[in-house]
Structure 1
Amino acid sequence: MRAAVLLLAALLTPIPAAAQTPAPPAPASAPAPEPVPVYGFEVVRVYPHDPAAFTQGLVFRDGELLESTGRYPSTVRRVRLEDGVVLQRRELDEDYFGEGLTAVGDRVLTLTWKGGKGFIWNPVTLEPEGEFAYAGEGWGLTHDATRLILSDGTAALRFLDPTTLVETGQVPVTLQGRPVSRINELEWIEGEVFANLWQTDYILRINPATGAITGIIDLTELMPDRSGLDPTDAVLNGIAWDPVGRRLFVTGKNWPKLFEIRLTGPR
């Protein structure tokens, strides 16, 4: 637990020097922040995963995976879970670097990194059905019952109306009151947002009402042999939840494996 919390503390968003002001002394009776629980994992099953897939978004839908990939050309694809076979794929225009993905009803929505543009796809045929715009960068995308939830690499979750795709608000993501940036791929799981923290082997559990990190999932031992993978780019990224079977799937960029895991702990 201590190692995970220390690592998260090192990634807390620094306050610019010009903006720093002396903080008043805390009252002697002020309670210490509650420790954030750290969860372990058990591997339930391992599936093949396309090592050429620079995974950005991952969703489980109708017994298949929907996956978005980055780099050029970026893709949106339907993937058979059992053997990792790509059943169908669409390429984005070379101007766009693909990012997060979510499936909402009869639509699949994907983001682009710096293009300020999202795309709408048919979930069965992957035919393009529209576009939408948003400010800033696009990193991760998920949704609850009433809103889209977008991450942009900063210490924020942004909310969009699922019909108009207009931003309606946001919350800061914080660890014991301090902002945490690099919030990446997102998945809505039973009332919480699970989020990859870019370039780490940790998944954050976030309260969507407050943005507070309520738990840390430590996946540092998930795939210990990463020989041949780029340590900078081939990082943990991709979370998918099967709400019917209550199965949790995770993978990484250019990883040859996708894992079904069960959380343990907290410890």
Structure 2
Amino acid sequence: MRFPDEIRLAPDEFRLLRDLINQHCGIALSPEQRPVIERRLRERLSVHGLHSFGEYYQLLRSPDRGRAELDEALDLVTINETYFYREDYQLTALRNELFPMLRRPPLSRESLSIWSAGCSTGEEVYSIAITAREAGLSGRRDLRIFGSDISRRCVAHARRGVYGTSSFRAIPADLKRKYFVEKPDGMHVQDDLRAWCHFGHLNLLDPVRASVVGRVDIIFCRNVLIYFDDVSRRRVIDMFYDRLLPGGFLLLGHSESLLNVSTAFELVHLRDDLVYRKPITASRFAPGGLDGGTLGSGKP
């Protein structure tokens, strides 16, 4: 009998797992990641009493247990590095430029809706909420914020709203004091701020599930699409275009762009950033777009 730490992920088994994960959620694993994937997934073999990664692949493909186990695997292989006020220049732009643009003619939104796509453990969502509060928005009447992630573990963490020291490496000290409460198990997001924020498990390659977000004014998707292959990246960007209201904004990470991905968006130059906007004159419901939704701005 082989001990769990002796089980190796063979190249052909890695290719099978890599292709299955890519097909499911768009994440593209490189050959150099094989030792990391072997280490992270080996414990799942032990849980199920399996003796090879080939057997584990067959489990992932099974109609009865495969989907739930794939969620477990994705929790282990996805990267979830984040912290409060990461790339804070975009939050400054949100407060000083994007909010005012959306609330004056020709848009004049009475209420706003923001989606953090790939929110990890929630720090980005709460950073957006703090920025909105500092900008004078009053929450339930003015704003809804929805965070989604492929990792159920991350979504559970985000809903709990409790964080350790490493999450506060960039947030201004006065905001930390103002919006968090220290308790024995960590720093807790204040309840009234947490009430603004909603979280859900969502695969960005599932446009039907994405429709629950509703139509939104702003999408943050920062440092997520860099892990996707080109085809999946285009699918997600097309879905974002459908989810955005005309005049809505898409914010990517500082090293990301839509070059060679999409020409449907307008490039908008802000004081310290470049963002993408769905044209104001775009049809409210683009051809092939999804309708409805239960979250978001509440607009038809």
**TM value normalised by structure 2:** 0.28
Does 1 or 2 have the higher relative contact order (CA < 8 Å, sep 6+)? 1
Q: Which has the higher strand share?
A: 1
Larger radius of gyration: 2
**TM value normalised by structure 1:** 0.30
Q: Which has the higher helix share?
A: 2
